[in-house]
């Protein structure tokens, strides 16, 4: 099993209505990778998403922002992975995470979907749970509150700033992730002060 990453998929919902909403935190990560590394994305109907490629420290990596709704995003990830013969172990999925505070990131190897509809569909479409996840903390609205309304809402300015700062740190650690040095990346992300 390789630990190198060949595909980074950022999850979100397409359309102007959802720009800037918490559920699109995975899109923000891919956008920041493009900004920092001179990448651009183009719509590709074959894969149901916006696709691009960047080179980071000599490592080529495909980028994907599915342009189908979150609960069907696995179709785009699986289509691209099949076309380029990328096994699940070489895929990193960046997604919003209710169980982490804003500004907190966690890398996770494999696992379940934790109720996240995008992850659920990716697991089903890939036929595997063995992909890497970049969990981007967006906080939880609290017991009894409307989770759907919360994730589809925009974060407060201080939360967005914390998320953006965390994403900048994740982008800085991307070379380690692409090289397969996931333990180093995890240690640095997980011990952030």
Q: How far is CA 18 from the centre of its chain?
A: 16
H/E segment holding residue 64 = strand 59-66
Q: Binding residue per annotation — 69?
A: yes
Q: Binding residue per annotation — 13?
A: no
How crowded is residue 36: how many other Cβ atoms within 10 Å of its Cβ? 14
Find the catalytic residue in 23, 156, 159, 190: 23
3-state SS assignment for residue 90: helix
- Calpha distance 180→68 (Å, rounded): 29
Q: At what angle do helices 73-83 and 117-126 cross, to 10 degrees?
A: 40
Give the DSSP letter string of 119-154. HHHHHHHHT---SEEEEEE-----TTS-HHHHHTSP
- Calpha distance 93→24 (Å, rounded): 12
Q: Binding residue per annotation — 150?
A: no
140 is catalytic: no
Q: At what angle do helices 157-172 and 182-190 cross, to 10 degrees?
A: 150
Binding residues for tRNA are 18, 69, 71, 117
Binding residues are 18, 69, 71, 117
Active-site residue set: 23
């Amino acid at each position: 099993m390789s630990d190198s990453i060949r595909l980074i998929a950022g999850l979100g919902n397409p359309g102007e209505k959802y720009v800037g909403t918490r559920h699109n935190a995975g899109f923000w990560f891919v956008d920041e990778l493009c900004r920092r590394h001179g990448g651009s994305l183009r719509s590709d109907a074959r894969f149901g998403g916006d696709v691009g490629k960047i080179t980071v420290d000599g490592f080529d990596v495909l980028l994907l922002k599915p342009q189908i709704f979150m609960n069907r995003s696995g179709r785009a990830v699986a289509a691209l992975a099949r076309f380029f013969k990328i096994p699940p172990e070489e895929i990193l999925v960046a997604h919003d995470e209710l169980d982490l505070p804003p500004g907190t990131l966690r890398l996770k190897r494999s696992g379940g979907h934790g109720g996240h509809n995008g992850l659920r569909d990716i697991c089903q479409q890939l036929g595997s749970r063995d992909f890497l996840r970049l969990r981007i903390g967006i906080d939880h609205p609290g017991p009894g509150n409307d989770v759907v309304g919360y994730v589809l809402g925009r974060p407060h300015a201080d939360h967005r700033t914390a998320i953006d700062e965390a994403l900048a740190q994740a982008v800085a650690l991307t070379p380690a992730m692409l090289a397969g040095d996931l333990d180093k990346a995890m240690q640095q992300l997980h011990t952030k002060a």
